[in-house]
Amino acid sequence: MSSSFLYKSKSLLSHCKLGRMHDKRTIPMRFIFQKNHASTLVIAEPSSSSSSSSEAMSSLMPATLSAISAAQKLHSGPITILSDKAIDTSSLPSAVTSVLHIGASSSGTPDKDKSLCGSLLVAENVSAHIQQAQTLYSFSHIIAPATKFGSNILPRAAAILGMSPITDIIEILSNDTFVRPIYAGNALAKVQATQNVKLLSVRTTAFEKAAVDGSPAATVINLMEEKQVPPPQTLTEFVKENVSSSDRPDLATANVVISGGRGIKSAENFALLESLADKLGGAVGASRAAVDAGYAPNDLQVGQTGKCVAPELYIACGISGAIQHLSGMKDSKTIVAINSDRDAPIFQVADYGLVDDLFKAVPELTRQL
Protein backbone atom coordinates (compact mmCIF):
# COMPACT_ATOMS: atom_id res chain seq x y z
CA MET A 1 0.00 0.00 0.00
CA SER A 2 2.69 2.53 0.94
CA SER A 3 4.79 1.75 -2.12
CA SER A 4 1.86 2.47 -4.44
CA PHE A 5 1.33 5.76 -2.63
CA LEU A 6 4.93 6.76 -3.26
CA TYR A 7 4.51 5.90 -6.91
CA LYS A 8 1.47 8.14 -7.13
CA SER A 9 3.27 11.08 -5.55
CA LYS A 10 6.23 10.73 -7.92
CA SER A 11 3.97 10.94 -10.97
CA LEU A 12 2.16 13.88 -9.41
CA LEU A 13 5.49 15.62 -8.92
CA SER A 14 6.18 15.47 -12.63
CA HIS A 15 2.75 16.90 -13.30
CA CYS A 16 3.17 19.70 -10.78
CA LYS A 17 6.50 20.78 -12.30
CA LEU A 18 7.80 21.75 -8.88
CA GLY A 19 11.35 22.91 -8.47
CA ARG A 20 12.27 21.21 -5.18
CA MET A 21 11.23 17.64 -6.04
CA HIS A 22 12.62 16.16 -2.81
CA ASP A 23 10.60 18.42 -0.52
CA LYS A 24 7.06 17.09 -0.16
CA ARG A 25 5.92 20.29 1.53
CA THR A 26 5.76 21.84 -1.91
CA ILE A 27 3.05 19.38 -2.88
CA PRO A 28 -0.44 20.68 -2.08
CA MET A 29 -1.98 18.85 0.95
CA ARG A 30 -4.89 17.60 -1.12
CA PHE A 31 -2.51 15.47 -3.19
CA ILE A 32 -0.87 13.85 -0.15
CA PHE A 33 -4.04 12.92 1.73
CA GLN A 34 -5.88 11.40 -1.17
CA LYS A 35 -9.28 9.99 -0.41
CA ASN A 36 -8.25 6.38 -0.84
CA HIS A 37 -5.10 6.34 1.29
CA ALA A 38 -5.08 3.52 3.79
CA SER A 39 -6.23 4.28 7.31
CA THR A 40 -8.13 2.28 9.90
CA LEU A 41 -10.78 3.07 12.48
CA VAL A 42 -10.78 0.66 15.42
CA ILE A 43 -14.01 0.50 17.40
CA ALA A 44 -12.99 0.29 21.05
CA GLU A 45 -14.66 -2.21 23.34
CA PRO A 46 -16.32 -0.24 26.17
CA SER A 47 -14.90 -0.66 29.66
CA SER A 48 -16.88 -2.99 31.89
CA SER A 49 -19.31 -1.22 34.16
CA SER A 50 -17.49 -2.31 37.30
CA SER A 51 -14.59 -0.10 36.37
CA SER A 52 -13.97 3.47 35.45
CA SER A 53 -17.37 4.89 34.47
CA SER A 54 -16.53 7.77 36.71
CA GLU A 55 -13.04 8.25 35.28
CA ALA A 56 -12.86 10.86 32.59
CA MET A 57 -9.88 9.34 30.83
CA SER A 58 -9.81 5.57 30.84
CA SER A 59 -7.61 2.95 29.27
CA LEU A 60 -8.24 0.42 26.53
CA MET A 61 -9.78 -3.01 27.06
CA PRO A 62 -7.83 -6.16 26.07
CA ALA A 63 -10.28 -6.78 23.20
CA THR A 64 -9.42 -3.37 21.76
CA LEU A 65 -5.69 -4.07 22.06
CA SER A 66 -6.19 -7.26 20.02
CA ALA A 67 -8.16 -5.32 17.42
CA ILE A 68 -5.34 -2.76 17.21
CA SER A 69 -2.74 -5.46 16.64
CA ALA A 70 -5.00 -6.87 13.91
CA ALA A 71 -5.23 -3.37 12.41
CA GLN A 72 -1.44 -3.24 12.27
CA LYS A 73 -1.46 -6.27 9.98
CA LEU A 74 -3.69 -4.55 7.41
CA HIS A 75 -1.40 -1.76 6.21
CA SER A 76 1.05 0.80 7.54
CA GLY A 77 -1.36 3.72 7.48
CA PRO A 78 -2.66 5.59 10.56
CA ILE A 79 -4.85 3.90 13.18
CA THR A 80 -7.65 5.81 14.90
CA ILE A 81 -9.72 4.62 17.87
CA LEU A 82 -13.46 5.30 18.23
CA SER A 83 -14.33 5.29 21.91
CA ASP A 84 -17.18 6.39 24.16
CA LYS A 85 -14.84 8.54 26.24
CA ALA A 86 -11.48 10.24 25.85
CA ILE A 87 -8.45 8.00 26.33
CA ASP A 88 -5.23 9.03 28.05
CA THR A 89 -2.51 9.05 25.37
CA SER A 90 -0.19 7.16 27.74
CA SER A 91 -2.74 4.30 27.64
CA LEU A 92 -2.51 4.00 23.86
CA PRO A 93 -0.28 1.70 21.85
CA SER A 94 2.19 3.82 19.86
CA ALA A 95 0.56 2.65 16.62
CA VAL A 96 -2.58 4.68 17.46
CA THR A 97 -2.37 8.21 16.08
CA SER A 98 -5.76 9.59 17.04
CA VAL A 99 -8.78 9.04 19.25
CA LEU A 100 -12.32 10.02 18.31
CA HIS A 101 -14.75 9.88 21.19
CA ILE A 102 -18.45 10.51 21.60
CA GLY A 103 -18.34 12.65 24.67
CA ALA A 104 -19.06 10.24 27.54
CA SER A 105 -18.01 12.00 30.69
CA SER A 106 -18.43 11.76 34.38
CA SER A 107 -21.55 13.16 36.02
CA GLY A 108 -20.29 12.16 39.42
CA THR A 109 -22.82 9.43 40.16
CA PRO A 110 -21.91 5.88 39.04
CA ASP A 111 -25.51 4.85 38.31
CA LYS A 112 -26.21 7.88 36.16
CA ASP A 113 -22.91 7.29 34.37
CA LYS A 114 -23.85 3.68 33.65
CA SER A 115 -27.16 4.81 32.22
CA LEU A 116 -25.58 7.57 30.11
CA CYS A 117 -22.86 5.24 28.91
CA GLY A 118 -25.39 2.55 28.12
CA SER A 119 -27.43 4.95 26.01
CA LEU A 120 -24.37 6.14 24.11
CA LEU A 121 -23.31 2.58 23.41
CA VAL A 122 -26.48 1.24 21.79
CA ALA A 123 -25.91 0.04 18.22
CA GLU A 124 -28.11 2.76 16.74
CA ASN A 125 -25.94 5.50 18.27
CA VAL A 126 -22.51 3.96 17.73
CA SER A 127 -23.30 3.14 14.07
CA ALA A 128 -24.43 6.71 13.52
CA HIS A 129 -21.08 7.94 14.87
CA ILE A 130 -19.21 5.43 12.72
CA GLN A 131 -21.03 6.95 9.75
CA GLN A 132 -20.07 10.42 10.98
CA ALA A 133 -16.42 9.42 11.36
CA GLN A 134 -16.41 7.80 7.92
CA THR A 135 -17.88 10.94 6.34
CA LEU A 136 -15.24 13.09 8.01
CA TYR A 137 -12.17 10.91 7.59
CA SER A 138 -12.82 8.33 4.80
CA PHE A 139 -11.21 5.30 6.42
CA SER A 140 -10.26 2.38 4.18
CA HIS A 141 -10.81 -0.13 7.00
CA ILE A 142 -13.11 -0.18 10.02
CA ILE A 143 -12.34 -2.93 12.51
CA ALA A 144 -14.13 -4.07 15.68
CA PRO A 145 -13.44 -6.87 18.15
CA ALA A 146 -15.82 -9.80 17.48
CA THR A 147 -17.35 -9.53 20.93
CA LYS A 148 -21.10 -9.25 21.50
CA PHE A 149 -20.59 -5.49 21.51
CA GLY A 150 -18.75 -5.42 18.18
CA SER A 151 -21.04 -8.01 16.60
CA ASN A 152 -24.08 -5.93 17.54
CA ILE A 153 -22.75 -2.78 15.90
CA LEU A 154 -20.59 -3.70 12.93
CA PRO A 155 -23.23 -5.18 10.58
CA ARG A 156 -25.55 -2.20 11.18
CA ALA A 157 -22.73 0.26 10.51
CA ALA A 158 -21.77 -1.66 7.37
CA ALA A 159 -25.35 -1.65 6.09
CA ILE A 160 -25.59 2.12 6.64
CA LEU A 161 -22.35 2.56 4.65
CA GLY A 162 -23.56 0.20 1.89
CA MET A 163 -20.84 -2.34 2.65
CA SER A 164 -20.80 -6.06 3.41
CA PRO A 165 -18.66 -6.80 6.49
CA ILE A 166 -16.46 -9.81 7.20
CA THR A 167 -16.84 -11.04 10.76
CA ASP A 168 -14.92 -13.22 13.22
CA ILE A 169 -11.63 -13.05 11.31
CA ILE A 170 -8.87 -15.26 12.71
CA GLU A 171 -6.10 -14.44 10.25
CA ILE A 172 -5.19 -11.39 8.18
CA LEU A 173 -3.32 -12.27 4.99
CA SER A 174 -3.31 -8.81 3.38
CA ASN A 175 -5.32 -5.59 3.45
CA ASP A 176 -8.17 -7.33 1.63
CA THR A 177 -7.79 -11.07 2.25
CA PHE A 178 -8.77 -12.78 5.48
CA VAL A 179 -9.53 -16.17 7.01
CA ARG A 180 -12.67 -16.80 9.01
CA PRO A 181 -14.20 -19.96 10.47
CA ILE A 182 -17.51 -21.39 9.22
CA TYR A 183 -19.48 -24.45 10.31
CA ALA A 184 -18.53 -24.00 13.98
CA GLY A 185 -14.85 -23.79 13.03
CA ASN A 186 -14.86 -27.17 11.29
CA ALA A 187 -13.97 -25.37 8.07
CA LEU A 188 -11.98 -22.23 7.38
CA ALA A 189 -12.79 -19.83 4.53
CA LYS A 190 -10.17 -17.64 2.89
CA VAL A 191 -12.12 -14.63 1.71
CA GLN A 192 -11.28 -11.49 -0.26
CA ALA A 193 -13.15 -8.23 0.29
CA THR A 194 -13.93 -6.43 -2.97
CA GLN A 195 -15.56 -3.22 -1.75
CA ASN A 196 -13.63 0.00 -1.18
CA VAL A 197 -14.30 0.22 2.57
CA LYS A 198 -13.57 -2.96 4.50
CA LEU A 199 -15.63 -3.45 7.69
CA LEU A 200 -14.15 -6.28 9.71
CA SER A 201 -14.52 -7.90 13.10
CA VAL A 202 -11.68 -9.95 14.59
CA ARG A 203 -11.68 -12.86 17.00
CA THR A 204 -9.66 -11.48 19.90
CA THR A 205 -8.03 -14.82 20.79
CA ALA A 206 -6.39 -14.85 17.35
CA PHE A 207 -4.48 -11.58 17.80
CA GLU A 208 -1.89 -10.75 20.45
CA LYS A 209 -2.71 -7.63 22.43
CA ALA A 210 -0.81 -4.58 21.18
CA ALA A 211 1.65 -3.27 23.76
CA VAL A 212 0.53 -0.15 25.61
CA ASP A 213 3.69 1.86 25.06
CA GLY A 214 2.06 5.28 24.86
CA SER A 215 1.33 7.62 21.93
CA PRO A 216 2.11 11.09 23.29
CA ALA A 217 1.49 12.88 19.97
CA ALA A 218 -1.93 11.30 19.42
CA THR A 219 -4.79 13.74 18.88
CA VAL A 220 -7.97 13.31 20.92
CA ILE A 221 -11.10 14.64 19.21
CA ASN A 222 -14.63 14.91 20.59
CA LEU A 223 -16.91 13.92 17.70
CA MET A 224 -19.78 15.77 19.36
CA GLU A 225 -17.89 19.00 18.57
CA GLU A 226 -17.11 18.15 14.96
CA LYS A 227 -19.23 18.43 11.82
CA GLN A 228 -21.95 15.94 10.86
CA VAL A 229 -22.94 15.11 14.45
CA PRO A 230 -25.83 12.63 14.19
CA PRO A 231 -29.11 13.68 15.84
CA PRO A 232 -29.81 11.99 19.20
CA GLN A 233 -31.30 8.62 18.39
CA THR A 234 -34.67 7.63 19.80
CA LEU A 235 -35.08 4.13 18.39
CA THR A 236 -34.00 2.36 21.58
CA GLU A 237 -33.41 3.29 25.21
CA PHE A 238 -30.94 1.66 27.55
CA VAL A 239 -32.73 0.66 30.76
CA LYS A 240 -30.25 -1.24 32.91
CA GLU A 241 -27.59 -3.88 32.90
CA ASN A 242 -27.15 -7.08 34.93
CA VAL A 243 -23.49 -7.76 35.24
CA SER A 244 -21.94 -10.63 37.11
CA SER A 245 -18.95 -9.25 38.94
CA SER A 246 -16.03 -11.38 39.94
CA ASP A 247 -12.53 -11.08 41.33
CA ARG A 248 -11.40 -13.85 39.02
CA PRO A 249 -9.61 -13.15 35.74
CA ASP A 250 -11.88 -12.44 32.77
CA LEU A 251 -12.84 -15.61 30.92
CA ALA A 252 -11.99 -14.21 27.50
CA THR A 253 -8.39 -13.36 28.39
CA ALA A 254 -7.43 -15.73 31.24
CA ASN A 255 -4.37 -17.96 30.85
CA VAL A 256 -6.11 -20.82 32.62
CA VAL A 257 -9.77 -21.80 32.32
CA ILE A 258 -11.52 -24.45 34.40
CA SER A 259 -14.78 -25.32 32.72
CA GLY A 260 -17.76 -27.33 33.92
CA GLY A 261 -20.46 -29.19 32.07
CA ARG A 262 -23.59 -31.17 32.75
CA GLY A 263 -21.53 -33.55 34.88
CA ILE A 264 -21.21 -30.87 37.57
CA LYS A 265 -24.84 -31.60 38.48
CA SER A 266 -25.56 -28.42 40.50
CA ALA A 267 -24.70 -24.76 40.92
CA GLU A 268 -23.28 -25.48 44.37
CA ASN A 269 -20.86 -28.02 42.91
CA PHE A 270 -19.40 -25.28 40.73
CA ALA A 271 -17.52 -24.25 43.86
CA LEU A 272 -15.22 -27.24 43.23
CA LEU A 273 -14.14 -25.68 39.95
CA GLU A 274 -13.82 -22.27 41.57
CA SER A 275 -11.37 -23.64 44.14
CA LEU A 276 -9.27 -25.18 41.39
CA ALA A 277 -9.43 -21.95 39.38
CA ASP A 278 -8.29 -19.97 42.41
CA LYS A 279 -5.34 -22.34 42.93
CA LEU A 280 -4.27 -21.80 39.32
CA GLY A 281 -5.18 -18.11 39.06
CA GLY A 282 -7.69 -18.95 36.36
CA ALA A 283 -11.18 -18.16 35.20
CA VAL A 284 -14.24 -20.40 35.32
CA GLY A 285 -16.19 -21.37 32.20
CA ALA A 286 -19.22 -23.50 31.47
CA SER A 287 -20.74 -25.54 28.69
CA ARG A 288 -24.14 -24.68 27.28
CA ALA A 289 -25.69 -27.64 29.13
CA ALA A 290 -24.44 -26.31 32.45
CA VAL A 291 -25.75 -22.80 31.77
CA ASP A 292 -29.12 -24.08 30.56
CA ALA A 293 -29.42 -26.18 33.72
CA GLY A 294 -28.73 -23.11 35.84
CA TYR A 295 -25.36 -24.26 37.21
CA ALA A 296 -23.59 -21.16 35.87
CA PRO A 297 -24.51 -17.70 34.50
CA ASN A 298 -24.67 -17.16 30.73
CA ASP A 299 -21.54 -15.03 30.46
CA LEU A 300 -19.44 -18.05 31.45
CA GLN A 301 -20.62 -20.06 28.46
CA VAL A 302 -17.86 -21.26 26.16
CA GLY A 303 -18.81 -22.41 22.69
CA GLN A 304 -19.95 -21.60 19.16
CA THR A 305 -22.54 -19.23 20.48
CA GLY A 306 -20.85 -18.29 23.72
CA LYS A 307 -17.31 -17.07 24.24
CA CYS A 308 -14.32 -18.21 22.25
CA VAL A 309 -11.33 -18.84 24.50
CA ALA A 310 -7.75 -19.89 23.77
CA PRO A 311 -5.95 -20.09 27.12
CA GLU A 312 -2.64 -21.81 27.85
CA LEU A 313 -4.56 -24.42 29.84
CA TYR A 314 -8.20 -25.48 29.50
CA ILE A 315 -9.51 -28.08 31.93
CA ALA A 316 -12.92 -29.47 30.94
CA CYS A 317 -14.71 -31.18 33.82
CA GLY A 318 -17.85 -33.21 33.20
CA ILE A 319 -18.08 -31.83 29.66
CA SER A 320 -18.93 -34.34 26.94
CA GLY A 321 -17.41 -32.32 24.10
CA ALA A 322 -20.21 -31.47 21.69
CA ILE A 323 -19.14 -29.88 18.37
CA GLN A 324 -20.56 -26.55 19.50
CA HIS A 325 -18.51 -26.52 22.72
CA LEU A 326 -15.31 -27.59 20.98
CA SER A 327 -15.63 -24.73 18.55
CA GLY A 328 -15.22 -22.31 21.45
CA MET A 329 -12.11 -23.86 23.05
CA LYS A 330 -10.21 -26.03 20.59
CA ASP A 331 -7.56 -23.36 20.07
CA SER A 332 -6.44 -23.71 23.70
CA LYS A 333 -2.74 -24.60 23.95
CA THR A 334 -3.19 -27.51 26.36
CA ILE A 335 -6.52 -29.23 26.88
CA VAL A 336 -7.26 -31.51 29.82
CA ALA A 337 -10.49 -33.51 30.07
CA ILE A 338 -11.85 -35.08 33.24
CA ASN A 339 -14.92 -37.20 32.58
CA SER A 340 -16.19 -40.53 33.90
CA ASP A 341 -17.37 -41.49 30.40
CA ARG A 342 -14.48 -43.01 28.47
CA ASP A 343 -16.34 -42.51 25.17
CA ALA A 344 -16.98 -38.79 25.62
CA PRO A 345 -15.94 -36.93 22.43
CA ILE A 346 -13.93 -34.43 24.55
CA PHE A 347 -11.17 -37.04 24.87
CA GLN A 348 -10.56 -36.74 21.12
CA VAL A 349 -9.34 -33.16 21.47
CA ALA A 350 -7.75 -33.45 24.91
CA ASP A 351 -3.98 -33.53 25.20
CA TYR A 352 -4.39 -35.25 28.55
CA GLY A 353 -7.50 -37.21 29.43
CA LEU A 354 -8.41 -38.57 32.83
CA VAL A 355 -11.30 -41.01 32.90
CA ASP A 356 -12.48 -40.57 36.47
CA ASP A 357 -15.25 -39.21 38.66
CA LEU A 358 -14.68 -35.43 38.67
CA PHE A 359 -15.99 -35.19 42.24
CA LYS A 360 -12.93 -37.24 43.27
CA ALA A 361 -10.41 -35.99 40.72
CA VAL A 362 -11.00 -32.23 40.89
CA PRO A 363 -10.66 -31.88 44.70
CA GLU A 364 -7.59 -34.10 44.61
CA LEU A 365 -6.07 -32.01 41.82
CA THR A 366 -6.82 -28.85 43.82
CA ARG A 367 -5.31 -30.36 46.97
CA GLN A 368 -2.10 -31.46 45.29
CA LEU A 369 -1.37 -28.22 43.49
Partner 1 sequence: MKILVGVKRVVDYAVKVRVGADGVNLKNVKMSLNPFCEIAVEEAVKLKENKAANVSEVVALSVGPKQCQETLRTALAMGCDRGIHISTDLRTDYMELQSDAVAKLFQKVIEEKEKDIHLVLVGKQAIDSDCGQVGPALAGYMSWPQCTFASKVDLDGDGLLVERETDSGTETIKVPKLPAVVTCDLRLNTPRYATLPNIMKAKKKKVDTYKAEEFGVDLEVKNKVLEVYEPPSRKEGILVDDVDTLIDKLRNEASVIQ
Considering only residues 279 through 298, tell me which ones interact with partner 1, judged by CB under 8 A: 280, 288, 291-292, 297-298
Angle at 111 between CA 108 and CA 116, to 5 degrees: 80
331 and 242 in contact (C-beta within 8 Å)? no
Asked if 157 touches partner 1 (CB under 8 A), the answer is yes
Q: Nearer Cβ to partner 1, position 45 or 78?
A: 45
SS3 per residue for 14-36: HHHCCCCCCCHHHCCHHHHCCCC
Contact 172, 150 (CB under 8 A): no
Which segment (29-37, 98-106, 222-230, 350-358) binds partner 1 by CB under 8 A? 350-358
As a whole number of angstroms, the distance between CA 151 and CA 129 comes to 16
Pair 200, 143: CB distance under 8 Å: yes
Which CB sits closer to partner 1, 107 or 177?
A: 177
Write the burial class of residue 208 (CB in 10 Å: 0-12 exposed, 13-18 middle, 19+ buried): exposed
State which of positions 244-263 bind partner 1 (CB under 8 A).
244, 252, 256
Contact with partner 1 (CB under 8 A) among 77, 78, 118, 318: 118
Q: Considering only 88-96, 103-111, 119-127, 223-231, which stretch makes contact with partner 1 by CB under 8 A?
A: 119-127
Q: How far apart are CA 247 and CA 172, in angstroms?
A: 34
Taking residues 171 to 190 in sequence order and writing x for each that binds partner 1 by CB under 8 A, - otherwise, the string is: ------x---xxxxxxxxxx
- The residue within the footprint of partner 1, chosen from 38, 122, 212, 293 (CB under 8 A), is 122
Residues written for the chain: 369
| Residue 35 CB burial class (10 angstroms; 0-12, 13-18, ≥19) | exposed
Q: x/- string (CB under 8 A) for partner 1, residues 8-37?
A: ------------------------------
Q: Does 243 bind partner 1 (CB under 8 A)?
A: yes
Put residue 349 in one of left, alpha, beta given phi > 0 → left and psi -120 to 50 → alpha. Answer: alpha
The only residue of 8, 9, 49, 230 in contact with partner 1, by rule CB under 8 A: 49
Count of residues touching partner 1 (by CB under 8 A): 89
Is 155 a binding residue for partner 1 by CB under 8 A? The answer is yes
Under the criterion CB under 8 A, does residue 277 sit at the interface with partner 1? Answer: no
With CB under 8 A as the contact rule, the residue among 304, 317, 325, 358 that binds partner 1 is 304
